[in-house]
Copies of this chain bind each other. A is one copy, B any other.
Amino acid sequence: MAKKIVIAVDAMGGDNAPYEIVKGAVLSANKNVKIILVGKKKLIENEIDNCDISNIEILDAQDVITNDDSPTWAIKNKKESSLIKALDLVKNDDANGFISAGSTGAILTCSTILLKRISGISRPAIATPLPNINGISLLLDSGANVDCKPIYLEQFAKMGSVYMENVMKIKNPRVGLLNIGTESKKGNAMTKEAYELLGGANINFIGNIEARSIPSGIADVIVCDGFSGNIILKHTEGLGENIFKMLKSELNKNIIRKLGAFLAKPAFMNIKKKFDYSDIGGAPFLGLNSIVVKAHGSSNSIAIKNSIVQCISFIENDIVEKIKTFTNETN
């Protein structure tokens, strides 16, 4: 029998904590998967009342790291926080992976310090699954490293390829370098050098891609510095939201449009679903010695459950080991 997978969950992170987090954990726990909920025990117990808790454990943590805390300050001064105590479980091999919907900066800093980088990886990357017209692209880095060296992008490309091939089951994933034109000599000093490195790497590099081609699904893995990646990520959310807001306002302008909207509603719902972060799962941090998944800050229980599923797939497919092998093989 395979060993039970253990996932540590930060019960206090995110806009809807602890209720939705606890509910997501309860939905995910089963005979093969144990969930350790880390956070204020009393609060968690209140939420968990009347649920099947046979595969759930609670680890009490009285402190919480908030968005206002400086991550480097918090790691020294909030040792009793849910984030640090959950990461300690992973560090001590009492859990195989960790998810949180809390502050990205805090999760990134604390997990990098506590779990350490894979040898040969200069910087961990936030790898965000981005919806496109045909499926999902993995965008990395999407915010961990605002100033990047070209070699980081080569590492991002390798890690992203391993992830898409093994977790998302995409054969020979196409890697595109985000740039301001498709020609090889386009871009800034960093992308020009990265282009050369990616061309020589043992990956399926398809060259420079423009931001206009991202929504059509031109690449499975999109590599860029964390500043540009963060811009793409947030712009996708903002533009999607605002187009739907405009649509809603236009469709409510008279009774005929309202009737039309009523008849066409399933079409709108399908598109909204494509962009729904609860279905897509969270963003894994690639390059650490264990799996850490950052769930969307406004995650509901379904989003938490999907992030846990993603975490499990990561563990079952032994992604950390595969990244280690691939990085060392091709270095």
Interface residues of A in 200-250 (CB under 8 A from B): 210-216, 226-228, 230-243, 245-247, 250
State how many residues of chain A have any CB contact under 8 Å with chain B: 56
A257 contacts chain B at the CB level, 8 A cutoff: yes
Within 8 Å by CB of A239, from B191, B236, B257, lies: B236
Contact with B along A306-324 (1 / 0, CB 8 A): 0000000000000000000
B240 lies within 8 A of A180 (CB): no
Q: Which residue of B lies closest to A265 (CB)?
A: B260
Q: Is there a chain B Cβ closer than 8 Å to A187's Cβ?
A: yes
Secondary structure class of chain A's binding surface, majority of residues = helix
A264 in contact (CB, < 8 A): yes
- Tell me whether A263 and B257 are in contact (CB under 8 A): yes
CA distance A317 to B59 in the complex (A): 67
Contact of A267 among B232, B247, B267 (CB under 8 A): B247
Interface residue from B188, B241, B263 paired with A263 (Cβ < 8 Å): B263
A10 to B: closest C-beta gap in Å: 21
Chain B residues whose C-beta falls within 8 Å of the C-beta of A241 in the assembled complex: 212, 215
Q: Would you call B236 and A133 a contact (CB within 8 A)?
A: no
Task: Establish whether residues A146 and B187, one from each chain, have CB atoms under 8 Å apart when the complex forms.
Answer: yes
A212 engages B227 (CB within 8 Å): no
Bound-state Cα–Cα, A228 to B179, Å: 10
Residues of B contacting A263 in the complex (Cβ-Cβ under 8 angstroms): 256-257, 259-260, 263
Q: Decide if A56 is an interface residue (CB 8 Å cutoff).
A: no
Say which residue of B187, B215, B234, B271 sits within 8 Å of A247 (CB atoms). Answer: B271
Q: Which residues of B contact A246 (CB under 8 A)?
A: 133, 271, 274
From B212, B240, B264, contact of A237 by CB (8 A): B212
Give 7 nearest A-B pairs by CB, closest first: A260-B263, A260-B264, A212-B238, A250-B267, A215-B242, A211-B235, A212-B234
22 A-B pairs with CB atoms under 8 Å apart are A133-B242, A133-B245, A147-B189, A180-B231, A180-B234, A188-B227, A210-B234, A212-B238, A212-B241, A215-B242, A215-B243, A216-B242, A227-B228, A231-B232, A232-B235, A235-B239, A243-B243, A247-B271, A250-B267, A250-B270, A260-B264, A263-B263
